[in-house]
Amino acid sequence: MSGGRAWVYGDDINTDVLYPGAYLKGPIEEAAKHCLEAIDPTFVPNVRKGDIVVGGENFGIGSSREGAAEVLLMHGVPVVLAKSFARIFYRNAFNVGLVALVCKDTNRIAKGDDLNIDAAAGTVENKSKGETYSCETVPPHLMEIVNDGGLVPHLKKRFGRTS
C-alpha cells in the first residue's frame, strides 16, 4: 500500500524531461535535481516522500536511460500511474523497484488529490474525490521483482537459492 499526493501530467512524458541528457554523464543525484524541470519546475522543490506521479498515455517514451525511473524513486515516489507506459520505461521501473500501474482513469485525478494505492489488488483510492479506480494487474513475475526491491536483489535471491 502506498499513499500520497498526486502530481498530474499529460501524455508522452518523455525521458529527456524526466532525466535531461545533459546530466547523463554525471552523478544521478545531480540529474535528480532537474527531474521534470522542463515542464514543471515546482516538482523537485515540493515533492514529498510517498507522492504519486500520474501521467496520461505513453509515460516514459524515449531513451532507455534507467535513471528516468530511478530519479522518481529517489524523490520518494513509490508508484507511477498512467494510462499506458513506454515499454522500456515500464521494464526499467520494476527493475529498479518502482511500481508502474496502468490505470485508464488517470484523467479523473487532479493535482494534489490524496491517493491511496494498493498495487497488489490493483486499486487506486482517490480520497479527495471519494472515488476508486481499478488498474491492470501487474504480471506476477514483475510483482515479485519489485517486492524484492528490483531485479538485482531479485537475482541475488534466485542465485542464492540455486547455488
Partner 1 sequence: MGMTISEKIIAKACGRETVTPGEIVTCQVGLAMFHDSSGPRRQAPALKELGRDVWDPDKVVCITDHYVPAVDALSAEILKITRDWCAEQGITNFYDQQGICHVVLPERGHLHPGLFAVGGDSHSPTGGAFGAFMIGIGATDMTGVLATGEIWVQVPHTIVVRWSGALAPTVTAKDMMLALCARIGLNGAGYKVVEFMGEAVTALPMDERMVLPNMTAEVGAKTGIIAPDQVTLDYLAGAGAATEGALDWFSDDDCVYEQVLEFDADALSPQVAAPHSPANSKGVETYNGVRVDQAYIGACTGAKLADLHMAAEVVRGKKVAKTTRFMVAPASTRITQAAAKDGTLETLTEAGAILLPSGCGACAGLGAGVLAEDEVCISSTNRNFQGRMGASSAKVYLASPYTVAAAAVAGRIADPREFVSAGALSP
Q: State which of positions 94-123 bind partner 1 (CB under 8 A).
A: 95-96
Write the binding mask 50 to 89 for partner 1: x where contact by CB under 8 A, - elsewhere: -------xx--xxxxxx--x--------------x-xxx-
Q: Does 161 bind partner 1 (CB under 8 A)?
A: no
Report which secondary-structure segment, H or E, holds 10.
none
C-alpha cell at 156: 541475488
Residue with cell 505513453: 58
Q: How far is the CB of 155 from partner 1 (least distance, A)?
A: 6
Q: Does 42 bind partner 1 (CB under 8 A)?
A: no
Options 25, 45, 49, 161; binder of partner 1; rule CB under 8 A = 25
